[in-house]
Structure 1
């Protein structure tokens, strides 16, 4: 007996537990999926006037940003989820988004954080979880939305989103964006970005749908290498120099410190409902990123530190050699074919998914080198000279040009079986084969090559009890594997003979959780308790970039609590709290045992709420706001370097002038707290100060 498939079109529910991930290989409501999942819906992205992925993820406790690895110069969206590197765990519509760059939100429909190892669903990596962005796609009906935003410190941004129905089953959509801005309260030069994304959809509302999207996106922004962390003489814990007298605005960059990227991306997705029990998906992507990147990494040696705290002369900083300029090109292609089948075997009901995942990524990086004038430069730690513009030339070092190619093929299958209408079990397995190749050459030096070839299995299992349609309780286990060579394209400094011989990192999670819909389904509640353990963990030297096995076993035990939806029709709420007890339980470095895992806050919370007064009336008002806060974090495994707590109070007020026109004012970091947006082993990047923006929005 086959089960009918019900397809419902319309606005996504404000209680995000009632929504779906939109991925064929992860079917069902989020309510029913045995994994912690947080969704930042479109309404909240609009209320917060989110412009980047990093800003959207402020709503997800436990997500931190890394400032860039040594000897690789990687920047862009470098995320850590629950303390684990998520550089390769960024997905767009379930497909890999190739390249390292700062993603703009002008095509975002919603942002999803799927927390915990997810090897069966997404493949290698995903120790702390993955981020998946659902993009805006064509729909039936016509619509036009446009926004113009202006703010302090010269911020100007404009976006437009137009959808046109071409026929009863086809539509065209166009998103465009342009922005010029600086960072409030900081001395960085201005930056610009712009992009456009046309998309077409055919077969809307039919059994076979084809969606095609092209993205062109370009930006040119100042690069920030952060401020150094120093320990007061006689103490053992280092903190950012901005915690001890250096001004928030301080930037140690030069005129040449820029991050310039151009992204071209084409995506095609097909969904075919073969019959009432089988649906097949085929998703493809080709992406190309070209980049120029250079930044200055300041360092403060022992003499500098002594003078900084005790006087006796001007504290002078130097530049690390790891910030040398480079150009790079990354291109990648991926195809995922998934089938979802719903059927019975005897009295047992099944929902099975199985498929094939193929992807290839090619990366090439060409380095440059500075002369002695930069190497020997010493600047005033309190008052850096940002007018400097050091000359550079093509490098002739043995690693002047670095290239890597990664090929991966995977088979995956998962089956959910209902023993009774209320009790079901999930079993899944993914087999992966990954080949990574690396070449380095320059000048008259011979070409050096590295190869890493690994095959591995990642399992998944869960037991689910749904006493009613509005209640879910589950126990789940999942694993993901991170193979040697996986970061050679994004962090080429990690390529070494030693890294090819490392055992793959394995990440396992045990999670117990529950969800409930209350208030007639308007509001969703979630709670989970989990343990993540990483075996065969690796570390990267902050200066050389060399990756080596630390022998560490890292464990995180946590509690996650969430609220999403509406308390009343006028009162929106989206909040989440995360407690993470992290510990290095075993290490080849005895001093690391018992220490907290780097970049994991003990406590983190995000809260956003809004209320509509007199909705639909001439004298209407929408008021809202929230906080993002997290406790201090250590930036290294030995817990000798610390970045303080983060706290940001944000708010907005808006008024609908009529059915088509809205004016909105947003305030950010209203308490003007010193917050750090990105951190690394020995430095931290200071965030923006207090800021205010005004937006005029129109919709038809």
Structure 2
């Protein structure tokens, strides 16, 4: 069966969006040119393109009960203007503007999609939409996003479980009282095509509607064969547009179709790393173990065009009712049903067996000559869906003569997920035949079957055939596994929280907050395709308490100095089977048909708890047009899951990160806007537990004993945590019509994972550890440039060049196997129109 996906610019989605653009009545209205104040050197009118600032004073969520300058923690808000000026088309691209965030790669057990690391902690399951948890692994778009809020530091008190390093909240575009219609059309290198539409239309003083839509299609610069196509629509209606009582109903739909790229394999593995080598980067220019010089082309793609694919489908329905009482207190209820689906078969290059560099056996005989990449097939299909209801009560009140800005919240949620895989035979559950049963993997037969390809000359159009097995010549279709093989997960939870900013004096504020969560998860692992047993369901219940507290001193009305602390709790099963979770519930389920007792589950798994401490200062300067922030922080996780004696799971892991962060956003002069910052992070795994036990012979006593060796990760940096990261983006209005801009991103070395090389030795009871091999991606600089020209009051032409110097760099480091190569130079020309 061929799984190739075809692109067609005449697709229904593309034509439908074109019809919407052509038929929009708002685009036919005359431009209004009423006078207005200046911003950033450009006169802002109802029709101006650049009407937003780089500076945001308050986040959208009412749980943050003070303006940003008075909030005692690090928060970065990416406003819509920064998203537009940088030509960001996805959440991943927008997050690159924020220092302290890195991006993790997906793998077989970790579904493809957004995987941001905030201050060294995986935040894949800590993403929110309008203050409500956004479930399911997915690649999020920004066409319907007003702004993106990044909270750094332990954050479970705000949103519930997880958020050890921070959280991300996306704010949706919803109807407002302003009438406008905006459209953008982009073309660029590598067949880049993008069209967006944003129409806001008040029908009268009571009813307003808004429609955001998008179509996107592009190849990837510097990558052979890879492409991505998606379209989305987000209509919304608001009743009570100008009144104290309102009802907003919004729907979001996103479909994507792509040929995915897992990237480039690492050069060395623990099986073949030469003596003295302690780090390995992705393979580029090297000499194999058999003496062959290899020069990997930049565009080398190891996937198969006729087999690989990824499709996603996301649907969200949100209903929000709100009433503002006469005393300024607001009651709001938000209900959301969300469902995300994704299917993929993608090629993961290499398998840690040493095919790239080559392998010699103990006798010195070459068993794998090198310059080969195994095309392992990673597959997944499934869905995640949830029904969440959240009620918020917030406002200001006086208590004991003190002003209290408070927010109380009550939340109920049911979330569930189902995950299966693609196989060559559903009845037997036989995996797709790619040579996994053959040793060495890249034998002559496997090369002839295109299960392996060369490092320096891969052909994505190879005529690969799906067979029933590695040793057969019977073709077969690739199909979904049987329903009984799927892993099922369900989470039922409710949480209550209360936050308060107490104004003790005009110069002294106290910020307090706490949350209680009752959390129950149920997991049923998939059965073997041939099994006749009944499903086994395992459940666990946890009660979570989290807090935040901060003291704020205000030297002036526009500045603050603060100290704060906060906590996070990650219970077993917190990722709903939608991310890379070391604390997953189903990993403790025995192979016997008897379910573990609640006490056995309690003993087997514990809640991972994280605490953050921060001291900092924030200043609004130049008549409140520029914001500066500086903070020092420490975050520490205890009860991290590790491997202990006798290969058992224990909770002794201790991870600690310390750092300093500086941020800036806003206008230095009326013509000059800036956005970015610098983050230094000293991340260390203080205790990684033990590796699996090994049996060795004492070279002195001659006794053979089993020993438990310390984990190779102990004392090493966090994965996905660069020591230095810096971003800076700027625009300067040269004239009232012409603007120049640019950006710079620096990321120091990023580690993916640490592994032992060789076996430990024992001499008179003293253990000598083998050296370790760290998989990493090198540091890099990336520079962007932009320019825009205001044609008239309604039209603007914008040019963006991303990665101006065509830097070859890697933006994601996986634990093993591979790293993701970033796109090369991309030029995008956009026509923006707004009435």
TM-score by length of 1: 0.92
8 Å contact 2:226–2:260 — kept in the other structure?
no
Q: Does the residue aligned with 2:221 lie in a helix, a strand or coil?
A: coil
Partner of 1:240: 282
8 Å contact 2:227–2:260 — kept in the other structure?
no
Partner of 2:320: 269
Partner of 1:91: 128
Q: 1:314 to 1:415 in 2, by over 3 A?
A: closer
Pair 1:627-2:744 in alignment: yes
8 Å contact 1:183–1:688 — kept in the other structure?
yes
8 Å contact 2:665–2:676 — kept in the other structure?
yes
Pair 1:470-2:558 in alignment: yes
Pair 1:609-2:650 in alignment: no
Shift of 1:340: 1.4
* Whole-angstrom CA distance in 2 between matches of 1:569 and 1:552: 50
Shift of 1:441: 2.5
8 Å contact 1:73–1:293 — kept in the other structure?
no
The CA RMSD measured in Å over matched residues stands at 2.5
Partner of 1:351: 405
Structure-to-structure mapping, 1:323-338, within 5 angstroms: 323-338=377-392
1:499-528 deviation line (CA, Å, top 9, x unaligned): 853211111100001111111111111111
Shift of 1:398: 10
- Give the alignment partner of residue 460 of structure 1, picking from 543, 548, 552: 548
8 Å contact 1:488–1:495 — kept in the other structure?
no
Instruction: Tell me how many residue pairs correspond in the alignment.
Output: 678
8 Å contact 1:124–1:481 — kept in the other structure?
yes
- Give the alignment partner of residue 669 of structure 1, picking from 799, 803, 807: 803
Give 5+ residue unaligned stretches, structure 1. 1-9, 541-545
* Whole-angstrom CA distance in 2 between matches of 1:339 and 1:373: 56
- Give the alignment partner of residue 86 of structure 2, picking from 48, 54, 62: 48
Q: Does the residue aligned with 1:577 lie in a helix, a strand or coil?
A: strand
- Give the alignment partner of residue 176 of structure 2, picking from 139, 151, 154: 139
Structure-to-structure mapping, 1:525-564, within 5 angstroms: 525-538=628-641, 551-564=652-665
8 Å contact 2:65–2:499 — kept in the other structure?
no
- Give the alignment partner of residue 777 of structure 2, picking from 627, 643, 667: 643
Shift of 1:462: 0.9
Shift of 1:130: 0.6
* Whole-angstrom CA distance in 1 between matches of 2:333 and 2:258: 36
Structure-to-structure mapping, 1:249-288, within 5 angstroms: 249-255=299-305, 256-288=307-339
1:612-647 deviation line (CA, Å, top 9, x unaligned): 1221xxxx2110001011100111256611111132
- Give the alignment partner of residue 489 of structure 1, picking from 577, 582, 587: 577
8 Å contact 2:727–2:744 — kept in the other structure?
yes
- Give the alignment partner of residue 317 of structure 1, picking from 367, 373, 389: 373
Pair 1:117-2:154 in alignment: yes
The answer to which of 634-643 and 451-460 deviates more is 634-643
Q: Does the residue aligned with 1:325 lie in a helix, a strand or coil?
A: strand
* Whole-angstrom CA distance in 1 between matches of 2:403 and 2:128: 31
* Whole-angstrom CA distance in 2 between matches of 1:343 and 1:146: 43
Q: Does the residue aligned with 1:384 lie in a helix, a strand or coil?
A: coil
1:3-38 deviation line (CA, Å, top 9, x unaligned): xxxxxxx99973635x21111222331111111011
Q: 1:229 to 1:352 in 2, by over 3 A?
A: same
The answer to which of 72-81 and 588-597 deviates more is 588-597
Partner of 2:831: 696
Partner of 1:567: 668
TM-score by length of 2: 0.78
* Whole-angstrom CA distance in 2 between matches of 1:390 and 1:486: 39
* Whole-angstrom CA distance in 1 between matches of 2:748 and 2:651: 26
The structure with the greater share of residues assigned to strand is: 1
- Give the alignment partner of residue 53 of structure 2, picking from 2, 11, 14: 14
Partner of 1:509: 612
* Whole-angstrom CA distance in 1 between matches of 2:723 and 2:119: 10
* Whole-angstrom CA distance in 1 between matches of 2:335 and 2:809: 39
Q: Does the residue aligned with 2:157 lie in a helix, a strand or coil?
A: helix
* Whole-angstrom CA distance in 2 between matches of 1:361 and 1:628: 37
* Whole-angstrom CA distance in 2 between matches of 1:603 and 1:399: 47
* Whole-angstrom CA distance in 1 between matches of 2:248 and 2:68: 23
The answer to which of 664-673 and 265-274 deviates more is 265-274
Q: 1:398 to 1:205 in 2, by over 3 A?
A: closer
Q: 1:305 to 1:176 in 2, by over 3 A?
A: closer
Pair 1:597-2:638 in alignment: no
The answer to which of 389-398 and 551-560 deviates more is 389-398
1:138-173 deviation line (CA, Å, top 9, x unaligned): 111211111111111111111111111111132111
Structure-to-structure mapping, 1:129-168, within 5 angstroms: 129-168=166-205
Structure-to-structure mapping, 1:385-400, within 5 angstroms: 385-388=459-462, 389-391=464-466, 392-394=477-479, 400=485
8 Å contact 1:50–1:56 — kept in the other structure?
yes
Shift of 1:275: 2.9
- Give the alignment partner of residue 680 of structure 1, picking from 811, 814, 817: 814
8 Å contact 1:119–1:458 — kept in the other structure?
yes
Partner of 1:479: 567
* Whole-angstrom CA distance in 1 between matches of 2:308 and 2:77: 35
* Whole-angstrom CA distance in 2 between matches of 1:572 and 1:352: 33
